[in-house]
């Protein structure tokens, strides 16, 4: 897994690539926390993530709590159909804004 961060119009954009599992979830968490601490609005681009385990869901939960605590906003972009289904089965989907593309995601935050 690889995470790169960029900032566009005061929005932190996290680009994640690869699998988020028990091996890589910590690194994802670290990158997400640092992005949240720098900006109140965060986009997590998951379009290059082919696998997300419960360890990854736990990080999403942590991100949600952190963002909520600081009255910020988080948008997930490019979530695969399979990952969306897992998020939907576990009720996670109701707590996140999901956008198909980065442009739509940025619009959602404006």
Partner 1 sequence: MELKTFPAVIDSLDSIRQYIKAVAQEAGLDKKASYNLLVAVDEIATNIILYGFQEAELEGVIDVTTEKTDNFLKVVFEDDAAPFDPTKRELPDEEDFDLPLDERPIGGLGIYLTINGVSEFLYEYINNRNRNIFIVDIKQ
Q: Which of residues 2-41 bind partner 1 (CB under 8 A)?
A: 19, 21-23
Q: From the list 27, 33, 64, 72, which residue makes contact with partner 1 (rule: CB under 8 A)?
A: 64
81 contributes a contact to partner 1 by CB under 8 A: yes
Q: Which range in 28-36, 37-45, 71-79, 91-99 contacts partner 1 by CB under 8 A?
A: 91-99
Strands 11-20 and 2-8 come out as antiparallel
What number of CA atoms fall less than 13 Å from residue 37's CA on the CB side?
6
C-alpha closest to that of 43 among 70, 17, 8: 8
Distance of closest approach, residue 7 Cβ to partner 1, in angstroms: 26
Nearer to partner 1, 77 or 83 (CB): 83
C-alpha closest to that of 39 among 3, 8, 78, 79: 8
């Amino acid at each position: 897994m690889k995470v790169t961060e960029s900032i566009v119009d005061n929005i932190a954009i996290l680009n994640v690539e690869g699998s988020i599992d028990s091996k890589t979830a910590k690194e994802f968490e670290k990158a997400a926390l640092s992005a949240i601490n720098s900006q109140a609005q965060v986009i997590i681009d998951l379009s290059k993530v082919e696998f997300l385990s419960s360890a990854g869901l736990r990080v999403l939960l942590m991100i949600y709590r952190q963002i909520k605590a600081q009255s910020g906003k988080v948008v997930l972009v490019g979530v695969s159909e399979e990952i969306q289904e897992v998020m939907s089965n576990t009720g996670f989907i109701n707590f996140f804004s999901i956008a198909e593309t980065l442009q739509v995601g940025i619009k959602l935050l404006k």
